[in-house]
């Protein structure tokens, strides 16, 4: 411990009730600064001093460490918001605000351990979120019914919520490692049980045909949307984001490149998630006729609305005033239409499983169906065709044809 040290080595000296030491390090911004270590004994500080030297040789070293809350705020505003999709920001921000910051926010980022993360996740699963977020307390006193009046409703987070919170923390710490604020991502070392997904049986061709027949009979303004969802397997956002420029009636094609999304308090008309999602899809005769019917309906709506018409994006599916349809409303309307048709209600996203069978029912050529279904090999498409029941197919489409005025 004695002897003269070289330039930049730092020193160990008495400090308060123990000792202190410093080492000259290069910070992440490229500037030189002192990094301090403290301890009760000279030997303890010497060990920390050696560790600091080793860390300084490996690369840049942060001299001041933010709290977890401070880093998460920086990460959301400077990394997530400008670079990721709006819906991703909303999801991450909710996880940070409701589940991470209240429990881990005060901890120093560099001192967060695997044990801290594991204990946080274990505890989170036992905390009633109605109590923690004051949901019942925010209601009018006459409407309070559980936590605010001392009767906990035990609204514990689901496995999916807990997994989302862990994933948000892991994503943030991955960026902290990349910026060399910490040396390892402790959240990635903690495993959480995967939420189990309940399997739902999709509609058969007959059920899908019954749904469309009922919608056509009622002159449903979303009839064309249901046709595109069931016959082309389009997602909810993709259908609502369609513009008339995307529809080529002469060539019988549809170009999918935009979607409608709800992100917080905004409804956004934006590009699809990936370039692979963009595609030209051939339109079967049923889809073409449904879209022509939709165009006629919208013309009537525009005339009725007059100056109140607001379809700035030239959307195919709008409200009666031309504004975008709320995605959640479309989901609710789908459930209502299914009940009206006397069918069991399935999630709107599950209709994609029925698409392949309906393509068989519409007698779409296998090579065209391969493009619509986006199968990499024609053999996969032919398996679908082999499984379809010809009698069921003809009966379902026959009823639908009659309801639409005799189209093939």
Share above pLDDT 90 across residues of the chain, in percent, rounded to a whole number:
45
**Global pTM value:** 0.69
Separation of alpha carbons 258 and 241, rounded Å: 5
Listed in sequence order, the residues at least 6 apart from 62 whose beta carbon sits closer than 8 Å to its beta carbon are: 27, 28, 110, 180, 181
Express each pLDDT in 133-153 by its tens digit: 999 999 998 899 999 998 999
289 compared with 1, residue with greater pLDDT: 289
Separation of alpha carbons 238 and 408, rounded Å: 26
- In order of 228, 251, 350, 389, the CA distances from 200 in angstroms are 21, 36, 8, 21
Can you give the residue ranges of every domain in the chain?
A: 11-58, 68-189, 205-403
Q: What is the DSSP letter of 39?
A: E
Looking at every residue in the chain, the average pLDDT score rounds to 84
Express each pLDDT in 12-68 by its tens digit: 888 888 888 888 888 766 788 888 888 888 888 888 888 888 888 887 776 667 899
Mean pLDDT, residues 305-325: 92
Side-chain-side CA neighbours of 105 within 13 Å: the count stands at 14
Is the domain defined by 205-403 classed in CATH 1.10.443.10?
A: yes
Mean pLDDT, residues 216-235: 90
Confidence of residue 2 (pLDDT cuts 50, 70, 90): very low
Name which of 72-76, 212-216, 232-236, 390-394 the model is least confident about. Answer: 390-394
CB 173 within 8 A of CB 75: no
87 compared with 353, residue with greater pLDDT: 87
Mean pLDDT, residues 374-396: 61
In this predicted structure, the answer to whether residue 214 has a pLDDT above a threshold of 50 is yes
Confidence of residue 6 (pLDDT cuts 50, 70, 90): very low
Mean pLDDT, residues 273-282: 64
Identify the CATH number of the domain defined by range 68-189: 1.10.150.130
Confidence of residue 375 (pLDDT cuts 50, 70, 90): low
Q: What is the DSSP letter of 241?
A: T
Q: What is the DSSP letter of 306?
A: G
Mean pLDDT, residues 251-255: 89
In this predicted structure, the answer to whether residue 376 has a pLDDT above a threshold of 70 is no
Separation of alpha carbons 386 and 373, rounded Å: 15
Q: What is the DSSP letter of 318?
A: B
Burial (CB < 10 A; 0-12, 13-18, 19+), residue 100, is buried
Express each pLDDT in 149-165 by its tens digit: 989 999 999 999 999 99
- Please tell me the predicted confidence (pLDDT) of residue 9: 47
CB 144 within 8 A of CB 138: no
What phi, psi does 393 have (nearest 5°)?
-60, -50
- Compute how many other C-beta atoms are within 10 angstroms of the C-beta atom of residue 227: 29
């Amino acid at each position: 411990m004695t002897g003269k040290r070289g330039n930049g080595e730092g020193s160990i000296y008495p400090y308060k009730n123990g000792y202190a030491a410093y080492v000259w390090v290069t910070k992440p911004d490229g500037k030189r600064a002192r990094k301090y270590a403290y301890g009760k004994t000279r030997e303890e500080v010497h060990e920390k001093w050696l560790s600091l030297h080793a860390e300084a040789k490996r690369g840049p070293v942060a001299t001041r460490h933010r709290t977890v809350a401070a880093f998460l705020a920086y990460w959301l505003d400077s990394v997530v918001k400008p670079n990721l999709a709006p819906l991703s920001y909303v999801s991450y921000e909710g996880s940070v605000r409701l589940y991470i910051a209240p429990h881990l926010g005060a901890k120093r980022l560099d001192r967060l351990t695997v044990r801290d993360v594991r204990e946080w996740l274990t505890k989170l699963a036992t905390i009633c979120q109605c109590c923690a977020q004051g949901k019942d307390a925010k209601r009018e006193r006459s409407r309070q019914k559980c936590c605010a009046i001392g009767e906990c409703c035990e609204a514990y987070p689901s496995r999916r919520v807990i997994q989302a919170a862990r994933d948000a923390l892991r994503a943030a710490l991955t960026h902290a490692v990349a910026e060399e604020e910490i040396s390892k991502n402790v959240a990635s070392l903690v495993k959480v049980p995967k939420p189990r997904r309940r399997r739902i049986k999709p509609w058969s061709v007959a059920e899908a045909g019954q749904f469309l027949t009922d919608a056509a009979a009622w002159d449903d303004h979303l009839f064309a949307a249901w046709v595109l969802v069931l016959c082309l397997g389009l997602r909810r956002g993709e259908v609502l984001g369609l513009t008339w420029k995307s529809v080529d009636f002469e060539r019988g094609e549809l170009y999918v490149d935009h979607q409608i999304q709800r992100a917080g308090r905004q409804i956004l008309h934006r590009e699809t998630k990936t370039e692979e999602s963009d595609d030209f899809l051939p339109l079967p005769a049923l889809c073409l006729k449904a879209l022509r019917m939709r165009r006629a309906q919208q013309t009537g709506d525009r005339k009725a609305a007059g100056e109140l018409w607001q379809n700035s994006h030239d959307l195919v599916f709008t409200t009666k005033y031309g504004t975008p349809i709320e995605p959640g409303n479309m989901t609710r309307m789908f459930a209502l239409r299914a009940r009206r048709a006397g069918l069991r209600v399935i999630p709107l996203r599950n209709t994609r499983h029925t698409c392949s069978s309906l393509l068989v029912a519409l007698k779409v050529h296998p090579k065209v169906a391969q493009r619509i279904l986006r199968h990499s090999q024609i053999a996969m498409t032919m398996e679908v065709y082999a499984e379809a029941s010809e009698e069921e197919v003809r009966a379902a489409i026959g009823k639908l044809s009659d309801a639409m005025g005799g189209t093939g």
